[in-house]
């Protein structure tokens, strides 16, 4: 992907940072977007030729400003996500709204910012990071699951809408990936999960990043509307 510009949201750590490294290793000029400027600066310093912009995926104004600063984008990786877990019976509307705003609405608004440029160039890659729970469901995460399932539906609709312009839209559904977000889970819960993973290990951010790098490549030009499971066989 030489001479391509890639924008990764939620790129200051975890899966997003691994994706930024992978795309840069493939020759892309990478722009990192996230909320924390200090973390972004440190992350970008380790990726030659990369730049960064502050970005709040819950704010349309912030999204517009960030992509205006970034300029034309060939590859968009919608990775930014938050969780605010709770049983549905007691889930606050604010926690529902916050998760949907960042994980689903924010992703859609980011796509809107890059679509016109991709259509003009007749080339583009949009990769939405969903989740295994978007396919299986998960108790206590109605808001997060709805946002990740929504990303899969969004992926399939857009794939049909803009395929004629040589733009592919795909989703990746990671399973249990060892990141800051999952580090807070109890050892017992982790062991229970491990028992359901045929490959008998948790995923690494690099496992997801490798899939992103492939879908962003020329070799993946005939793949669109797909959901690529990166989950060690946890869900098939």
Task: Tell me how far apart the alpha carbons of residues 30 and 174 are, in angstroms, rounded to a whole number.
Answer: 22
Distance of CA 107 to the CA centre of its chain: 8
Task: Tell me how far apart the alpha carbons of residues 205 and 175 are, in angstroms, rounded to a whole number.
Answer: 11
Q: Beta partners for 124?
A: 167
- Phi, psi values for residue 229, rounded to 5°: -85, 125
Residue 144 catalytic?
A: yes
**Catalytic option among 7, 144, 176, 202:** 144
| Cβ 57 vs Cβ 31: under 8 Å | no
Which residues are catalytically annotated? Answer: 144
């Amino acid at each position: 992907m030489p001479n391509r510009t890639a924008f990764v949201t939620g790129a200051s750590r975890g899966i997003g940072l691994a994706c930024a490294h992978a795309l840069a290793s493939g020759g892309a000029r990478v722009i990192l977007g996230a909320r924390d400027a200090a973390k972004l600066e440190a992350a970008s310093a380790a990726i030659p030729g990369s730049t960064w912009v502050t970005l709040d995926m819950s704010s349309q104004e912030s999204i517009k400003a960030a992509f205006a600063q970034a300029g034309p984008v060939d590859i968009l990786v919608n990775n930014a996500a938050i969780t605010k877990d709770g049983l549905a019976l007691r889930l606050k509307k604010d926690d529902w709204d916050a998760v949907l705003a960042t994980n689903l609405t924010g992703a859609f608004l980011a796509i809107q910012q890059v679509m016109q440029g991709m259509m003009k160039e007749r080339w583009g890659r949009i990769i939405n990071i969903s989740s295994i729970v978007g396919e299986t469901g998960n108790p206590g995460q109605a808001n997060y699951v709805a946002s990740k399932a929504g990303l899969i539906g969004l992926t399939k609709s857009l794939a049909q809408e803009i395929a004629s312009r040589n733009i592919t839209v795909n989703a990746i559904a990671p399973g249990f990936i060892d990141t800051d977000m999952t580090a807070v889970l109890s050892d017992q819960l982790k062991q229970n999960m491990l028992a359901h993973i045929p490959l008998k290990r948790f995923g690494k951010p690099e496992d997801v990043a490798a899939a992103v790098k492939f879908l962003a490549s020329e070799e993946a030009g005939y793949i669109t509307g797909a959901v690529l499971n990166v989950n060690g066989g946890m869900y098939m």
